[in-house]
Amino acid sequence: MAHELDIVPGTEWGCFTLPRPMCIAGPCSAESEEQVMETARGLHAFGIHVFRAGIWKPRTHPGSFEGIGTPGLKWLRRVKQELGMWTCTEVASEKHVLECIKYGVDMVWVGARTSANPFLMQEIADALSGTDMPVLVKNPVNPDIDLWIGALERLNRAGIRKLGVIHRGFSTSEPIAYRNDPGWKIAIELRTRYPQLAFFADPSHMAGDRKYLLELSQRAMDLGLDGLMVESHCNPACALSDAKQQLMPADLQHLLESLVIRDNTSDSQAYKEGIDALRAQIDVLDENLLFTLASRMKVSAKIGQYKRDHNVAILQAGRWEQVLADMVEKGASYGLSEQAITAIMTAIHDESVRVQNEVLKA
Ligand code: PEP
Ligand code: MN
């Protein structure tokens, strides 16, 4: 079911001077007045206008640094007063929202653990009702696009029109290089459904490690997203949370300057941007295909072991003919030719037999 959202685009909020990439930066957590001010000055020096800092931190384990709480809001107010930057922080309850309003925080975001919870989303939407604050909603921890849209709807129904989203990837139990599964296809789907929604990527939480920030930020730009929220700390090695993924302000400046941003000022530029966005989608799909193939081969290896343990031959011709016939039939319903499906499935089957033979030899 398509839902309408009544939205003011991010370029009209008054805080992003350049249309793309809109950039929000600052530490994972506000830790001390000095750390907040030094980081904010470093970011302000090269034109960052929106400063983030977590005041209340949703941590997996109790006892890790759970945020400085309300005293940190005074430091954000100082950033605003002295540097003229917009400030934003994460809210997860009515109390957080009321404190932010009281201390003049300019913008808030809802974290991934909270956007997954309709009760909290409603509480936050009710508390924000009547304000003009821009609100950014991170994707829920699980890849459920409707839960994400539902969170946006609750805010929109409460009168919040300066709405945006932050894609930070999804929790996964698979062993992957990044902290979160990027799951770009959900971002593409949401972007397609609501092209007017200010759309940020959070490469920091997606990556979990600063060494992946550039490739993920470039991917976000190639997919045509509007902006980035990046964690930056004046001394990342000493950060009280997410130390591995934070960047010194100067390194963030370098990263932003390294990004290739395609704008659409001329027809040929528009073409280039369009084709690059489509190719980025293809790259994501190809990576998904590789992942699926690798998972399939792992199952093949298990089947090999099973057959070996039960003394059964690898090639079961009847079973393979049945698989191929089913796939050709299903493929046709997706508009895929018999020839293509036969070639692809035969190649996959050959590799699967090879994997099973390896198991048998071992
Ligand atoms: C954060 O932005 O500091 C944060 C906790 O992010 P997420 O909700 O994406 O985990
Ligand atoms: Mn963080």
pLDDT of residue 1: 54
Residues flanking ligand 1, CB < 6 Å: 28, 54, 58, 90, 111-112, 138, 168, 202, 205
Whether domain 10-258 has CATH 3.20.20.70: the reply is: yes
Report the half-sphere exposure of 55 (CA within 13 A, side-chain side): 29
pLDDT of residue 2: 58
Q: CATH 1.20.59.10 in the chain, residues?
A: 269-361
- Ligand in closest contact with the CA of 90: 1
**Residues less than 5 Å from ion ligand 2, measured at CB:** 28, 242
Residue 43 burial by CB count (10 A; 0-12/13-18/19+): exposed, middle or buried? buried
3-class state of residue 200 by DSSP: strand
Secondary structure of residue 318 in the 3-state scheme: helix
Residues of the chain with CATH 3.20.20.70: 10-258
Q: In this structure, which topology does domain 269-361 adopt according to CATH?
A: Chorismate Mutase Domain, subunit A (1.20.59)
Q: How far apart are CA 28 and CA 4, in angstroms?
A: 33
Q: What's the gap in Å between 111 CA and the centre of ligand 1?
A: 5
Q: What is the pLDDT of residue 267?
A: 66
Give the position of tokens 């079911």.
Answer: 1
User: SS3 of 47, please?
Assistant: coil
Question: Burial level of 313, CB count in 10 A (0-12/13-18/19+)?
Answer: exposed
pLDDT of residue 264: 46
Mean pLDDT by 10 residues, the chain (362 residues): 85 85 97 98 97 95 93 98 98 98 98 98 98 98 97 98 98 93 94 94 98 97 94 98 97 96 67 84 92 93 89 82 94 92 93 89 80
DSSP code for 181? B
Q: Find the DSSP H helices in the chain.
A: 33-44, 71-83, 94-102, 112-115, 118-128, 145-157, 184-193, 203-207, 213-222, 249-258, 267-309, 317-333, 338-361
Residues in the chain: 362
Give pLDDT tens digits for 76-101. Answer: 999 999 999 999 999 999 999 999 99
Going by alpha carbons, the residue nearest to atom 8 of ligand 1 is 111
> Which ligand lies nearest the alpha carbon of 179?
1
Distance 112 CA to ligand 1 centre (A): 6
